[in-house]
Structure formats: C-alpha cells, structure tokens
C-alpha cells in the first residue's frame, strides 16, 4: 500500500496496540486453485510477540497455496471514518471547497507460515486453540479442547506465522494543520457513528493529546 510520510507509523508502539485491538483480518497467500488470484481468508488471530497464531478448517484452499509458497500477508484495517468535504473547512473557509476523505488505520504483517497438523504432531493444534481461548475469553471457564474435542481436531489445521516485515499506515489528517484536524475530530465525536470515536481518538493521539 502507498504510505505518505505524514501517515507513516511512529513504530511498534503504535501499530502493535492497533493490531492487538483488532484481532481479525485477511490472510493472503499467493497460488492455490486459481492461478490468477491469491487466496484471501478472513480470520480471527492472536498476535504474540513476533508470531501470529490461528486455525482454519482443513479444507480451506489456503493450505494448497501454502504447499506451494509459505510466504503470507495478514492485512488488518479498521477504525475508519468518512470525512465529508464540508468538515474540512474551519473559520471563514468555504465548506463547498472542502475535499472529502476517509480516515483509517491499516497494518500488514508479512511472514512465513508453518502448518500444524494434529495427525502428524499430536497436541499442536490443541495448543493453538488454548492460546486463542486464553486471549479471547480469559475469564470464561471452558473445557480443554485437547481433551473434550480431540476427535474434531483432525478437521482443522493450525497456522504459525513468523512475522518478518511490518507495514503500517495511520491516515488521520496528517496532511493538514492542527486546527483542521481537531475540527474534524470534534465533528467525528458529535456524529458518533461506527468507527467515529476510534478515528477521532487516533487524530488526537497523533497530535500528542
């Protein structure tokens, strides 16, 4: 993706919390049944250090693609909000001359995937499921997947993705001055639609509070 200098991430302290707060993305793998298109899989995942963990049904076409090429991209984009043209005007500026845009955050994690199969490595998929349960519902008592659902584990495969490169973009008005950004943030809060509060929070955060 194209990243203008004003939209570049400040580093891991910015992109990692974003990914951890949005543990659902699109896993993209080249190859697979359609030679002219990559396989794209919407999926939940857990980010732990430099590793992404997830599981998918064994029949997922992504595993055919991984048999050819283990390199994958996990794309996460969220906290987006449409900014109408009139919002880009402050003071005595003409609202009709404003330029609309969309604010959003996007992180792409590039890495090499390892497939875990309960048939060849007993306990490996169950370990990934335990990790996901611990992350997504730490306060909910649940039966151990390796014991309660052992027979079903052969129907899924686990994925371990070692992150090698991170590309991150936070497009929240960095191309305009502070008064214009704060005016948009205020209007986002007042509108209060899906993503508006989160987008406004990113605007203010990137301004330093």
In the numeric block, which tokens belong to residue 92? 């005595």
Which of 73, 153, 79, 165 has its CA nearest to residue 116? 153
Measure the CA–CA gap between 76 and 94, rounded to whole angstroms. Answer: 36
Residue 34 has pLDDT above 90, yes or no: no
Superfamily of chain region 5-175: Electron Transport, Fmn-binding Protein; Chain A (2.30.110.10)
Element (H, E) at 167: strand 156-171
For residue 149, the model assigns a pLDDT of: 78
| 6-26 pLDDT, tens digit each | 999 999 999 999 999 999 999
Query: CB-based contacts of 97: which residues, under 8 Å, 6+ apart?
Result: 89
- Residue 42: predicted pLDDT: 98
Tell me the three state secondary structure of residue 123.
Answer: coil
For the chain, the residue count is 209
Three-class secondary structure of residue 31 per DSSP: coil
What letters, b where the CB count within 10 A reaches 16 and e where it falls short, cover 146-168? beeeeeebeebbbbbbeeeebbb
The two tokens of residue 194 are: 């899906």
Q: What pLDDT, on the 0 to 100 scale, is given for residue 152?
A: 86
State percent of the chain over pLDDT 70.
99
CB 168 within 8 A of CB 69: no
Alpha carbons 194 and 188: distance in angstroms, whole number: 10
């Amino acid at each position: 993706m194209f990243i203008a200098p004003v939209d570049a991430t400040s580093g891991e302290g910015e992109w990692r919390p974003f990914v951890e707060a949005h543990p659902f993305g699109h896993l993209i793998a080249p190859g697979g049944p359609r030679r002219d298109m990559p396989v794209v899989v919407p999926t939940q995942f857990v980010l732990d250090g430099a590793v992404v963990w997830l599981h998918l049904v064994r029949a997922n076409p992504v595993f055919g693609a991984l048999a050819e090429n283990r390199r994958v991209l996990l794309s996460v984009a969220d906290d987006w909000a449409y900014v109408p043209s009139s919002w880009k005007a402050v003071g005595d500026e003409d609202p009709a001359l404003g330029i609309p845009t969309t604010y959003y955050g996007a992180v792409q994690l590039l890495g090499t995937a390892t497939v875990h199969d309960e048939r060849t490595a007993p306990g490996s998929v169950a370990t990934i499921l335990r990790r996901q349960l611990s992350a997504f519902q730490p306060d909910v008592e649940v039966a151990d997947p390796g014991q309660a659902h052992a027979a079903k584990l052969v129907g899924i495969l686990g994925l371990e993705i070692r992150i090698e490169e991170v590309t991150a973009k936070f497009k929240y008005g960095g191309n305009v001055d502070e008064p214009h950004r704060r005016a948009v943030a205020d209007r986002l809060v007042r509108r209060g639609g899906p993503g508006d509060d989160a987008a406004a929070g990113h605007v203010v955060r990137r301004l330093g509070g």
